[in-house]
Structure 1
Amino acid sequence: MLPLDTLLAFLAVSIAITFAPGPDNLMVLGQSLARGRMAGFGIAVGCALGCFTHTLWAAIGVSAAIAASPQLFLGLKLAGAAYLAWLGVQALRNASALRPAALAGSGEPWLRYLRRGFIANAINPKVALFFLAFLPQFSRPELGSVALQTVQLGLAFALQTVLVFGTIACAAGAIGRALAKRPAAGAWLDRLAGLIFIGLAIRLATDGRGQ
């Protein structure tokens, strides 16, 4: 078990990182505005599960293999960008001035948003490399298995991700619900979400390797 001071320091840094603007919290923000807080919360839980997946990869060495293979890294990066772009196009196509999405609530199952958040996070190789570099800094080899400590840290990171992103989802969902009371706001919120996804796709596809 990790010492309390180490865990608290890890959580403080993790919360600061999670609040910092990035692809995941922008997805939560965009979907919460366009589709309501439960849609955003689904994305939040999916991203958290994706983070824990990267933790397991780091623990068993998969992330190290990605770091060592430029071809694998590029392939995963392009796959992630393509998936985000597809989500963006779907949001733009579904935009309708007759459907105030955030006011009425999403007609899609909550688990569908969870799946979207999970896939978008889990296939992003830059997140895998971040966990590979970040988690070991808080491991204490003298306390035992570094792999087990990595899993514990990853679980703590995933839990605080749900709390932080859930807060963002609630706040943005309330704003989106208020905006959706205006005529045609639902369509513009969908378009905003679509543009966020497409912007994230372009950023991921064109960004450098970032190692």
Structure 2
Amino acid sequence: MPDLPQLLLFIAAGWLLNLTPGPDVLYIVTNALRSGVRAGVVAGFGIFSGCFVHVAAAAVGLSALLATSATAFTVLKWIGAAYLLWMGVRLLFAKATPLNLEGGAVDVNLWRVYRRGFLTNVLNPKVALFFLAFVPQFIAPDADNKAWIFLALGVIFNVNAIPINMAYAWLAAWAARRVHTVQRAMHWMDRAAGVLFVGFGLRLALTDNPTQ
């Protein structure tokens, strides 16, 4: 494992990276605004679970395959892009969902929220490549059991993302309960989120293969 200063630097860098808005943050905030803090928290845990898939895959070498195999990267890239585009189109044409002051939309399907959060993360090969590029910087070249160290650092990175994801969910839910203009604008928030998801999907689709 890295020494304490290196480990603290790893944790701080991870927090800064998790604070950066992207498809995961957008998914958490959208669900919390529309359906309350529970939906936002569940969305966060779906993303959290999906991230573990990438950590485990990277530890056993799948991310290395994605980084060197144009075919493997392209297949997962197009699956992920198609999923993000599908999410965006759904939001663009979604009907306005009624909110209440006690905690969100009526009859929200939390399992569906979790599953979609999981898939949003798992089907993005850029997450796998991120772990492959970021984590090894904190592993000494002469370290034994590099795969286990990689796995441990990946778990630390993922666990440290929980408070940030929860904070996004709580803040979005707080805004939905207390800021009436946010509630009146939810119909347009879905549209804006849909445009962003479509943008993320197109950007992923246009990502160059790592071997090019």
What is the TM-score with the length of structure 1 in the denominator? 0.86
Q: Distance in 1 between matches of 2:158 and 2:93?
A: 32
Q: Distance in 2 between matches of 1:202 and 1:180?
A: 33
Letter in 2 for 1:129: L
8 Å Cα contact 1:88/1:193 also seen in 2 = yes
- Residue 198 of structure 1: CA displacement? 1.9
Which of 102-111 and 133-142 deviates more? 102-111
Q: How many residues align?
A: 209
SS at the partner of 1:94? coil
Q: Distance in 2 between matches of 1:93 and 1:180?
A: 23
Cα shift readout 1:29-60 (whole Å, capped 9, x = no counterpart): 23322332222222221222222211111110
Identical pairs, percent: 39
8 Å Cα contact 2:83/2:120 also seen in 1 = yes
Q: Distance in 2 between matches of 1:193 and 1:64?
A: 32
- Residue 184 of structure 1: CA displacement? 4.5
Gap runs ≥5 in structure 2: none
* Inter-CA distance 182–148: structure 2 relative to 1 (3 Å threshold): closer
Q: Distance in 1 between matches of 2:5 and 2:11?
A: 10
Q: Distance in 1 between matches of 2:39 and 2:61?
A: 33
**Is 1:53 aligned to residue 53 of structure 2?**
yes
8 Å Cα contact 2:52/2:158 also seen in 1 = yes
Gap runs ≥5 in structure 1: none
* Inter-CA distance 91–35: structure 2 relative to 1 (3 Å threshold): farther
Off by >6 Å, runs of 4+ in structure 1: none
Q: Distance in 2 between matches of 1:181 and 1:110?
A: 25
> Which of 98, 101, 111 does residue 100 from structure 1 map onto?
98
Q: Distance in 2 between matches of 1:64 and 1:183?
A: 45
* Inter-CA distance 90–13: structure 2 relative to 1 (3 Å threshold): same
- Residue 85 of structure 1: CA displacement? 1.6
Q: Distance in 1 between matches of 2:30 and 2:196?
A: 7
Residue matched to 1:63: 63
What is the TM-score with the length of structure 2 in the denominator? 0.86
Q: How does 1:148-163 map to 2 (within 5 A)?
A: 148-163=148-163
8 Å Cα contact 1:100/1:187 also seen in 2 = no
Q: Distance in 2 between matches of 1:160 and 1:70?
A: 32
Q: How does 1:112-191 map to 2 (within 5 A)?
A: 112-140=112-140, 142=142, 144-179=144-179, 184-191=184-191
* Inter-CA distance 182–54: structure 2 relative to 1 (3 Å threshold): closer
